[in-house]
Structure 1
Amino acid sequence: MGKIMQGIMRIRQRAIWSWQGWVHVWKTEQSLMQWIWANAISIPLAVILPLTAGETALIIMGGVFVLAMECINTAIERVVDDISTQRRDRAGQAKDAGSAAVAVSAVGVGMAWLVILFRLVTTG
């Protein structure tokens, strides 16, 4: 098999693993569904409102970033629980830090919305 075919096979395998990860988070994490709903509201608003292309892209990218953070948070939770289900300070700290990553990314998107809406109101 040539290098190109090997590269294609690696990309294909990575896509399969990524899809399996997404499906797992989809099936097991209620919070992912909440962020999907937030995106289902945010993205159409970003498209409908008179935003610049950059502002629209920022809102869409931010929403996708929050979904990615939720996947990472789930990965942290799974690894911590796989090591041990006993309550341990560092395990709790790792889970809390993963949760904080989701929250911080969501606050960032909220702040972007505020800045953009402020511009619309003040220049509109």
Structure 2
Amino acid sequence: MSVGPGNKPGKKGVARLLAAANYSKQGLVAAWRNEEAFRQEVIGTCLVVPLALWAGETPAERAILIAVVMFVLPIELINSAIEATVDRIGAEKHPLAKIAKDTGSAAVAVGLFAAFLVWCCILIPKLPL
């Protein structure tokens, strides 16, 4: 029997979901332990979520303020995965490795900038000027 996308061996149903949840937990723990940027972004998120709940006037505003900040976390996780993969391949300097790491970092920067812009767009009009 051939193994292809449709008949992949392994866990099925609830067992697969539980295994996937465990892998995700392990990934979060690894990121927390090994990635200072991830820890900083989690702490920053924890600090600004209450601010979003206070500053947003409508449920939609609150949701948008929280979502744009939380969206940075999966980008950072993907960046960390890229960095770990590149580091696993080899320690020697290679132009493609640099591009991979730099573009992953750029993705995080774009996410942070987008969050900043959304916060500005929602909160600046409310300032008593």
The verdict on a shared fold, with TM-score over 0.5 as the criterion, is yes
Aligned twin of 2:83: 77
Match of 1:55 in 2: 61
Q: Which amino acid aligns with 2:40?
A: Q
Aligned residue for 1:121? 127
* Contact 2:55-2:123 at 8 Å conserved across structures: no
1:37 maps onto 2:31 in alignment: no
When residues 50 and 66 of structure 1 are mapped into structure 2, their CA distance, relative to the original with a 3 A threshold, is: closer
How large is the Cα RMSD of the aligned pairs? Answer: 1.7
2:113 alignment partner, one of 107, 117, 123: 107
State whether structure 2 residue 18 is matched by structure 1 residue 12.
yes
User: C-alpha displacement at 1:50, in angstroms?
Assistant: 4.3
TM-score, length-normalised on structure 1?
A: 0.89
Structure 1 unaligned residues grouped into runs of 5+: none
Aligned residues: 119
Distance 1:51 1:110 in 2: 18
Following TM superposition, by how much is the alpha carbon of 1:115 offset from its aligned partner in structure 2, in angstroms? 0.3
Question: How far is 1:65 from its partner?
Answer: 1.0
Q: Percent identity?
A: 36
Which one has the bigger helix percentage?
Answer: 1
